[in-house]
Structure 1
Amino acid sequence: MEDKLMAGPDPIQAVLLLRLAGPMQSWGDQSVFNRRDTRPQPTKSGVIGLLAAAAGHPREEPLGDLLGLTMGVRVDQEGTLLRDYHTVSDYQDRPLPQAGVSAKGIQKPTSPAKYTHVTQRFYLQDAVFVAAVAGPAPLVHSLANAVTHPAFPLALGRRSCVPSQPILLGIKNDSILEALTSQPWQAGGHARGAFEKRHGRLARIDRMVTIEAADGDHVLHDEPVSFHPRDRRYATRRVTHLWRSIPTGFPDPVPPADASSAHDPFALLGW
């Protein structure tokens, strides 16, 4: 983003609302050896990375104005955890190479020889989130346009996790908490049907909201500083978890017909 998007020293703030829904999502904030976990809700680094891709930022480019954005997340559909278990072997039954390379740039063999490589990756299945990103209004409007006309493909945490619905929900001129509280429930049809079958067409439902707060009681290590492939850096941020009542978006139930106004098939005969 160009510096001209920053309208003055104290620009008007706006909130960008994003629907994050897909068959699979994965929002990792750490990788330990051959295991890649996912957090139960989107990370800030993942959402900012999505916006950077939409706006056409190469990984090597500084994040610029994107560094000043604040974020909140609402969990509309928790989803379930999926473990993807991999084993990799050489088809000629040769020892697998290690990550280190020789002085000639050739990968060294494993020592002792390792013939099978095991990895585990975790995903969220059928989850739906609403992310709220706040910043200067010109920048937020520019990002909204970028999300609908992305420069690079958009993904929900990893490249293989593609969105199943349009991402952009809209722009609000409220605080992050107010924007997340007023936006109708975005759960999928199956989840909404199950809720209606159990509880009826209630007007509101309680959902968990996570927002950034200087005095937050939880610390997350997902504040992006650099996405450069050789210089990835992250910082910590404080968040707080809240429960809020939000509108379900169910249509008003149809009132029962008045018996006195029911159709009488014999009315034309004068009976």
Structure 2
Amino acid sequence: MRRHLLMRLRAPLVAFGGEAIDNYGVIRDFPALSMLTGLIGNALGWDRSDFALLDGLQARLVMGTRLDNGGERLADFQTAQIGASDSGWTTLGEPEKRRGGEDSYKSPHLRYRDYHARLDALVALRLEPADEEPTLEEIAHALDHPKRPLFIGRKPCLPSTRLVVGMVGASDVLDALQRAPSPDEREFRFQWPRKEGTLKNARALDICDERNWKTGVHGGWRAVLEGTGPHIAPCASLSTLPELPA
């Protein structure tokens, strides 16, 4: 049995971003490997310039997702007249300065952003190798005590509940997701890495969700499976972590 960290991704608005096209910010049904890497890196206090740390963490992550509530899609039309002296909020605690030529401020910025409304997703992840830093325990502690504010995909998507659910011992990622606590005994949608469990009638996909953290570009393909399956009674190795102090 291998230990997996269970994470709850729940918020009024969630953005599992996909390939952006011009001014359209699209979303996927399941979170990307790069999004989980960035979320954990932010909790640990890493900066975008920590390329080696982020690339190393992303390469070690083995993760899958169970949709406890798929929510519904919401399309947001955004327009803003931005001036050269305007600044934006960041998780670094310092305002972000605007950049661009004089002509870039003459017209309003128009863009469309899709969101998941009322989505509730459970993530199971482990690290390979497991004994390198950061460990699962260090990641769980950072998620409970993040160095900076956390968000699920985009800055407006602030978690509405504790991210850390607990640890579970399971043979693979799908087994961990099926044995994780469930609100009921119905069937759920899953996405998990190929060779990390099987479900009848699962479909195989290749997704591009790994980021080169130095260039900021996504590339390569990751083999995953998607399917619907039942919840399995939690095993004896399921353990929750101590609650945060009030």
Contact 2:44 2:142 in 1 (8 A): yes
Partner of residue 210, structure 2 = 223
Partner of 1:148: 144
CA contact (8 A) 2:10 2:160 kept: yes
Partner residue in 1 for 2:243? none
Identity %, equivalent residues: 26
Structure-to-structure mapping, 1:90-239, within 5 angstroms: 107-109=101-103, 115-135=107-127, 136-138=129-131, 139-174=135-170, 175-186=172-183, 204-213=185-194, 217-226=204-213, 228=214, 231-234=215-218, 235-239=220-224
Question: Once the 2 structures are TM-superposed, how far is the Cα of residue 66 of structure 1 from its aligned partner?
Answer: 3.7
> How far has the Cα of 1:27 moved from its partner?
1.3
One of 8, 20, 27 as aligned partner of 2:9:
20
CA contact under 8 A between 2:81 and 2:108: conserved in structure 1? yes
For residues 232 and 246 of structure 1, do their structure 2 counterparts lie closer, same or farther at Cα, with a shift above 3 Å needed? same
Which residue type is aligned with residue 221 of structure 1? Answer: C
TM-score normalised to structure 1 length:
0.68
* Inter-partner Cα distance in structure 1 for 2:187 and 2:30: 17
Aligned length: 204
From 72, 83, 86, the counterpart of 1:80 = 72
Structure 2 Cα separation of the partners of residues 205 and 106 of structure 1: 52
Q: Secondary structure at the match of 1:143?
A: helix
Say which one has the larger Rg.
1
Structure 1 gaps of 5+ residues are 1-11, 92-104, 187-202, 250-271
Displacement of 1:144 after TM fit?
Answer: 1.1
Moved over 6 A (4+): none
* Pairing partner for 2:22 from 9, 12, 33: 33
Residue 179 of structure 2 contacts residue 233 of structure 2 at CA under 8 Å; is this kept in 1? no
The 8 Å contact of residues 14 and 137 in structure 1, kept in 2 or not, is answered as no
Partner Cα separation in structure 2 for residue 123 and residue 34 of structure 1? 15
CA contact (8 A) 1:50 1:154 kept: yes
Shift of residue 88 of structure 1?
A: 3.5
On the 8 A contact 1:17/1:132 being kept in 2, the answer is yes
Inter-partner Cα distance in structure 1 for 2:58 and 2:77 = 35
1:223, distance to aligned residue in structure 2 (A): 1.5
